[in-house]
Structure 1
Amino acid sequence: MGDWRPLHQVEGYPPIEEHGLVGDGATCALVARDGSVGFLCVPRFDSPPLVCPLLDRQAGGEFRLVVAAAEEGRQRYLPGTAVLVTEIRSPAGTVRITDGMLLRAGAVLEEEAPAGTGTFLRMVEVLHGRPEISLSLEPRGGATVHPTGDGLRLSCPGQRVEVALRWSRPLDAWPAVLRLRAGDRFWVALQWEPGAGAPTAADPFADTVRVWRRWSAALHLEVPRRDLVHRSAITLKLLDHFANGAIVAAATSSLPERIGGDRNWDYRYAWVRDAAYTVFALRRIGLPEEAGGFLTWVLEAVDSPGSPHVVYDIDGHAAPREIVDPLLSGYRHSAPVRWGNDASYQVQHDVFGEVLDCAFQWAATGGTFAPGLWGRLRALAEASRDAWARPDHGIWEVRAPPRPFTYSAAMCQVALDRAARLSRRLRLPGDPLRWEQDALTITRRILTDAWDPQMCTLTEHLGPGSGLDASLLALPLRRVLPADHPKMAATCRAIAARLDAGGGLLYRYLPEESPDGVGGAEGAFLLCSFWFVDNLVGQGRVEEAAALFERLCSYANELGLLPEQIDPGTGAFLGNFPQGLSHVGLVSSAVLLGRAAHGLNPELSTHAWFR
């Protein structure tokens, strides 16, 4: 167990970094070090929140186990699992809370059958003393409460399901004060699946622990910081919708990228661009089933009529339109709170390359393409031939007027390159020679039209008047330019100098140079710093890369979880949490460093280039 840490709040809210994640492959919950549940949607990741006090401590509802006069807390996971242990200490005694969403006995997490039982179990054990413990559940918007033989049934306005509470021993009142002494144990189960039975085993988490440990034992981790890579893999699995392979970007909506600002977005959906990065990382650490499941989901989503979307809901439909919630004030009064995401309806030309790269990875795992699907993929490759030079909203999904982003042009190059390779390798109909020539043309135009000779760097968009953008660090990862290409190496130097946030962290861009239509500062973007690690490895600067990697790992919380962004001044977490792409960045950098440590060629350098 980690060190005891004082329990504190900032403006009435537990810090984002003082939370752990539990889940069952259909939904998940954030649990704070003080025993409160900060965010929970049922029955799915993208359902309306049952409780979300992280977004409004008054109107967001609550599900709390409160230790009176609590002073200190600490958290850990049971090794190899997503079962969370929180210990809380008060002058009257010490309490252990074990939290987890229960899985079926013998469940296999790679199969389509539901693994979860629709049960969020919270078990309280008193380690010593006689502390006073309060238990309460108040769904957001209130609820009509119906007593049952062993608990309560709650009808909640705005919820798609009815929920029930069961507990292990009778309570005198509700909300309840638990009268426990050292050695006593009590559990409460929140359930939302019809017919879910009460836990009956002496250890109600035993089956869940076995399922998680059987799954995590398959991980191949010849990498530095195996502990964090292992935890990252489990965290990514917690963001995986087991039934169909979709992976949501993060567990939450509207946690702010700037305190008091309006950079608040709903990340409980699946981005195609995240797919390509996530699948690559999962395959490299021994999770081909997860990679295959996600690739199948992506290809089925883009095979539906109409243009491909950048972001989909779990079912493979366009994410719902954005709405502002007028009833919630936001984390630390950072309004607005948003549900839905309008990025699904933006023009983002990088989606062509993201989809074709997913298809390329699918083929690498032995996947094949039905004629209709290959026809759609061919059409995307053809569309990218003209789209690359046209303005769009870019990887960062700006709300400003569109520009011809360099990253988007690069991903159109990826679309053509991957289409050509697929056509040749699988003897699929197409024009691979022309696609190869067009891809080469885009690469040359990036090197000329995006190059600023005064700043000695590639820039955010094609043509003059462009700022610097850390998304350029992804070009070697997508096999557009080698990391040690002179202009790519110069771009790394410029990004390190001008987008430096301190402590090894990088900003994505400077809003005053690259207007995004939102305005205001934001935190440092963790993924960009991991991309920088990868570039250093590709340039042969392995010792520098390893040192930076260790520094970035130090930002993880006591549970090994990472946010989207970090406040460079305080180290506080910002943005939605946990953020899948931050964990993908950690895994990918660890894999590259592991290869370098074993004397293997840097995959991103010129002499290892596959062209």
Structure 2
Amino acid sequence: MNEWSPAPSAGYLPIKDHGLIGDGRTCALVGRDGTVSFMCVPRFDAPPLFCSLLDRHRGGSFLLAPDGLRLSRQHYLEDTGVLVTELRADTGLVEITDVFPLRPDARLEVDTPVGTGELLRHVRVAQGSVELRVAVRPRGETQVERHADGWELTCPKQSVKLHLATSRPLPGLECALRLSQGEDLWVRLRWSEPHAAGSGRSASQCLDDTVRAWRRWSAFVMADTPRPDLVRRSAITLKLLDYAENGAIVAAPTSSLPERIGGDRNWDYRYAWIRDAAYTVFALRRIGLPDEAGGFLHWALTAAGRDGRLRVLYDVDGRPPPPEVIEAELEGYDRSAPVRWGNAAAEQVQHDVYGELLDCAFQWAATGRPLSAGLWHRLSGLAEQARSAWRTPDHGIWEVRTQARPFTYSAAMCQVALDRAARLAIRLNLPGNAATWAAEARRLTGQIIHDAWDERAHSFTEHLGATGGLDSSLLALPLRRVLPADHPRMVATTQAITERLGAGDGFLYRYLPQDSPDGLDQPEGAFLLCSFWLVDNLAGQGRIDEAAELFDKLCSCASPLGLLAEQIDPYDHSFLGNFPQALSHVGLLSSAVVLARAERGIRPELSTHAWFR
């Protein structure tokens, strides 16, 4: 059981002090103070109904908490996405169970619509008696009508109509109730159609059915790894970010949580990146979740090129996200403006996407799924484009907002595109220039080894031509099988990155803005995924004890609920950036599997599929 913590102050709750719940369409963050502080309905990338996380006065929230709150803590019901918040007040103890109910026949292990379109909150007084505060405040002007069975709320800003039902009459949407030991309150906030599947069940039935569904699904997760508790929680977290309609996985459920308090590195991550698909699919397959892996693969292969252009990211429907705009009305988390909706990176040129997509197709075919003639025609065309694209500047994996540059990682991913295309054509007897692609891939590998190497720095650099600073994305080259982790120049680069981009305790910066201008000219936190990449590289170099020690340090930074943000403040280990971050959990999963294999005496190959042999 997690430790009790003092009641939050009047300011913004630390990012770490939130839990995530969801239903395969959308999700919510619930704070340790009993507040639903971020929730978009009816889906992940819809306008937020509650976002007090980004403005505690104007953002809107849904509060259930006792007066006189002194201590609180949170935990998940074991192996589920059901969250329990315990609130100890001067006069009693309250338990709040929060859940997005799943349909009664929900099978989480396959990609089908599983949610019922409601938030269920159950308050139970475990000790004493309390004055329970209730406050339902959607963002923006709300039209409220009282009915015999509850309240109807019309929210024009979100274009949604809500129905609020409670097990005890409420005098208003902002009120207080006296509850004593053993008494409870059920609150159901619904935005689905009145007769949606499962909507006729009792609240307790909804909760029980949902717990069963989660535990049935969680039983499939491989647990023979270091830190199996965090591996399972990471898998559940990724499932909570999985759009069940089509298998898309959003990068994070939030927007504009700052990468530095007071800075403006604030981005909207409620979309799905092609880049994330390749990493995520690889990790999900390795922990026993092939359906989720296949769903994301199918989404990526379907979305890419739908409008005649290969984009970096898409909305959950596989369409371009809305234009990036700044929300002037909201002050931002802890007054860290701006708040952004939409993401302009969707319009950037990033050559790594060729390799990401071909790698997705490779993983798809390697599991026995067919490649249609139409899809292969598109993919082989991308391989042809990659032959020349690597020679031209782009905006890179970190989506810099400066002039395009010839990034080493981008060239490396063009090598991946050529290599995977050649392997696919040969293995499946598909039409195309397999011999040419394979030869080009080998030549490009040699080009990277020589042209990105800086003899004075004794490391690879972020740009071809051995210019620019160090970049932690170079640690991903062995993960994508561009170079082996124990290649002498990769060993030297790993050491250089550890020394020069190290932020202490094994944390790494992505790059240093003063050496690698990104258009923002501000520092940021340490990027967690890069540290997990370092774990994999150390293991690949035979430094297993060092890799295991670093992995343990990174795991110790997880929140009490086992959740990870995008970045860590290296000075106080507070969370920064959008939360929870899918790729941070993907990094944990991948490193856990690498270490598990190493502990069994198996050489920690970063990709072990027979198609690579």
TM-score bracket for the superposition, by shorter chain length? over 0.9
- Conservation of the 8 A alpha-carbon contact between 2:145 and 2:152: yes
CA apart distance, 1:167: 0.5
Q: Secondary structure at the match of 1:103?
A: coil
For the aligned residues, what is the CA RMSD?
1.4
Which residue of the partner structure matches residue 364 of structure 2?
Answer: 362
1:265 corresponds to 2:280: no
Which residue of the partner structure matches residue 139 of structure 1?
Answer: 138
Specify which of 232, 249, 258 is matched with residue 230 of structure 1.
232
1:13 corresponds to 2:31: no
Specify which of 556, 570, 573 is matched with residue 571 of structure 1.
573
Q: Secondary structure at the match of 1:180?
A: strand
Alpha carbons of structure 1 residues 522 and 201: separation in structure 2 relative to 1, 3 Å: closer
Q: Secondary structure at the match of 1:315?
A: coil
- Conservation of the 8 A alpha-carbon contact between 2:49 and 2:139: yes
CA distance in 2, matches of 1:141, 1:238: 27
Alignment of 1:271-290 (within 5 A): 271-290=273-292
Q: Secondary structure at the match of 2:420?
A: helix
Give the letter for the 2:593 counterpart.
V
Alignment of 1:387-536 (within 5 A): 387-536=389-538
CA distance in 1, matches of 2:27, 2:517: 35
CA apart distance, 1:91: 1.2
Give the letter for the 2:97 counterpart.
T
Query: For residues 543-564 of structure 1, what are the alpha-carbon distances to aligned partners after superposition, in whole Å with 9 as ceiling and x for unaligned?
Result: 1100000000000000000000
CA apart distance, 1:12: 1.3
Which residue of the partner structure matches residue 37 of structure 2?
Answer: 38
Q: Secondary structure at the match of 1:13?
A: coil
1:385 corresponds to 2:387: yes
Alignment of 1:242-261 (within 5 A): 242-261=244-263
CA distance in 2, matches of 1:61, 1:336: 17
1:337 corresponds to 2:336: no
Alpha carbons of structure 1 residues 403 and 265: separation in structure 2 relative to 1, 3 Å: same
CA apart distance, 1:377: 0.2
Which residue of the partner structure matches residue 118 of structure 1?
Answer: 117
- Conservation of the 8 A alpha-carbon contact between 1:482 and 1:605: no
- Conservation of the 8 A alpha-carbon contact between 1:484 and 1:605: no
CA distance in 1, matches of 2:181, 2:285: 46
Which residue of the partner structure matches residue 58 of structure 2?
Answer: 59
Q: Secondary structure at the match of 2:249?
A: coil
Moved more, 212-221 or 251-260: 212-221
1:170 corresponds to 2:172: no
Alpha carbons of structure 1 residues 593 and 112: separation in structure 2 relative to 1, 3 Å: closer
CA apart distance, 1:319: 1.7
- Conservation of the 8 A alpha-carbon contact between 1:19 and 1:32: yes
Give the letter for the 1:331 counterpart.
Y
- Conservation of the 8 A alpha-carbon contact between 1:473 and 1:535: yes
The total of aligned residue pairs comes to: 609
CA distance in 1, matches of 2:349, 2:524: 24
CA apart distance, 1:375: 0.5
Give the letter for the 1:250 counterpart.
A
- Conservation of the 8 A alpha-carbon contact between 1:221 and 1:229: yes
CA apart distance, 1:321: 1.3
Alpha carbons of structure 1 residues 609 and 598: separation in structure 2 relative to 1, 3 Å: farther
Which residue of the partner structure matches residue 598 of structure 1?
Answer: 600
Give the letter for the 1:107 counterpart.
A
CA distance in 1, matches of 2:125, 2:579: 30
Q: Secondary structure at the match of 1:131?
A: strand
CA distance in 2, matches of 1:609, 1:114: 33
CA apart distance, 1:222: 1.1
CA apart distance, 1:61: 0.9
CA apart distance, 1:111: 3.8
CA apart distance, 1:369: 1.3
CA apart distance, 1:112: 4.4
1:106 corresponds to 2:108: no
CA distance in 2, matches of 1:303, 1:371: 15
Alpha carbons of structure 1 residues 570 and 34: separation in structure 2 relative to 1, 3 Å: same
- Conservation of the 8 A alpha-carbon contact between 1:253 and 1:266: yes
Structure 2: which 5+ runs fail to align?
none
- Conservation of the 8 A alpha-carbon contact between 1:483 and 1:605: no
Give the letter for the 1:542 counterpart.
I
Q: Secondary structure at the match of 2:21?
A: strand
Give the letter for the 2:6 counterpart.
P
- TM-score relative to the length of structure 2: 0.98
CA apart distance, 1:6: 1.0
Give the letter for the 1:306 counterpart.
G
Which residue of the partner structure matches residue 241 of structure 1?
Answer: 243
Which residue of the partner structure matches residue 186 of structure 2?
Answer: 187
Query: For residues 379-407 of structure 1, what are the alpha-carbon distances to aligned partners after superposition, in whole Å with 9 as ceiling and x for unaligned?
Result: 10000000112100000000010100000
Which residue of the partner structure matches residue 546 of structure 1?
Answer: 548
Percent identity (aligned): 62
CA apart distance, 1:605: 9.9
Q: Secondary structure at the match of 1:66?
A: strand
Give the letter for the 2:572 counterpart.
T
- Conservation of the 8 A alpha-carbon contact between 1:282 and 1:290: yes
Which residue of the partner structure matches residue 157 of structure 2?
Answer: 158
Give the letter for the 1:294 counterpart.
F
- Conservation of the 8 A alpha-carbon contact between 2:73 and 2:87: yes
Query: For residues 279-298 of structure 1, what are the alpha-carbon distances to aligned partners after superposition, in whole Å with 9 as ceiling and x for unaligned?
Result: 00000011000111111111
Give the letter for the 2:576 counterpart.
L
Q: Secondary structure at the match of 1:38?
A: strand
CA apart distance, 1:179: 1.3
CA apart distance, 1:371: 1.0
CA distance in 2, matches of 1:173, 1:355: 52
CA distance in 2, matches of 1:321, 1:460: 29
Give the letter for the 1:463 counterpart.
G
Q: Secondary structure at the match of 2:242?
A: coil
- TM-score relative to the length of structure 1: 0.98
CA apart distance, 1:199: 4.8
- Conservation of the 8 A alpha-carbon contact between 1:241 and 1:314: yes
Give the letter for the 1:7 counterpart.
A
CA distance in 2, matches of 1:145, 1:172: 13
CA distance in 1, matches of 2:471, 2:38: 33
Alpha carbons of structure 1 residues 199 and 128: separation in structure 2 relative to 1, 3 Å: farther
